[in-house]
Amino acid sequence: MISKALTIGAFPYTGIRKQPVLYGMDSITQTLIKPARKIHIVDDDDAVRDSLRALLESLGFEVLDYPSAKDFLARRGANTQACLLLDLHMPAMTGLELLEHMQATQTQLPTIVITGRGDALSKARALLGGAIAFIDKPVADDALLGAIDGAFAATA
């Protein structure tokens, strides 16, 4: 039954998060195949955004990336089943300022802060500002994926 599910639908099954159109499948098989979950990446470093995008898309996530916090605010769209990977140190509007803005506008989006220049004060401010995790660059894949799983579990 599972092998049949792997070949039916518009998308190949990659292990997680792609939802083909299934007809006549039982509920157990359908729960194995989850819809794509959206991740927003806000980082001013092109290489970081590209690397994170490649990793996350290879795992079946839908990824949208933005070079600045202001660009994210202008283009983000609906936040259903999404989480945010946010750099702290960016020009114009910092990651902490974006967290404060989201808190002030009551924007509910689980946020994982990633930074190459983190300190105890920045970590405390980020967590008080609503971030659910704080990860230092270079980002370890297992730490990032664990934080992402936690973010989606918090919105479920």
**H helix or E strand, kind and range, residue 62:** strand 62-66
> What pLDDT is recorded for position 94?
95
CA distance 133 to 124: 11
pLDDT tens sequence across 52-84: 999 999 999 999 999 999 999 998 876 667 999
pLDDT, average across residues 111-125:
91
Tokens encoding 62: 């839908």
d(Cα 134, Cα 6) in Å, to the nearest integer?
36
Q: Is the pLDDT of residue 86 over 50?
A: yes
Query: Exposed (0-12), middle (13-18) or buried (19+): which is 9, by Cβ within 10 Å?
Result: middle
What top-level class would CATH report for the domain 37-155? alpha beta
In degrees and rounded to multiples of 5, residue 28 shows phi and psi of -65, -45
pTM of the model: 0.76
- What DSSP string runs through 116-134? SS--HHHHHHHHHTTEEEE
CATH 3.40.50.2300 region(s) of the chain? 37-155
Predicted confidence (pLDDT) at residue 138 exceeds the cutoff of 80 = yes
When comparing pLDDT for 16 and 51, which is higher?
51
For residue 119, what are the contacts with CB-CB under 8 A and spacing of at least 6? none
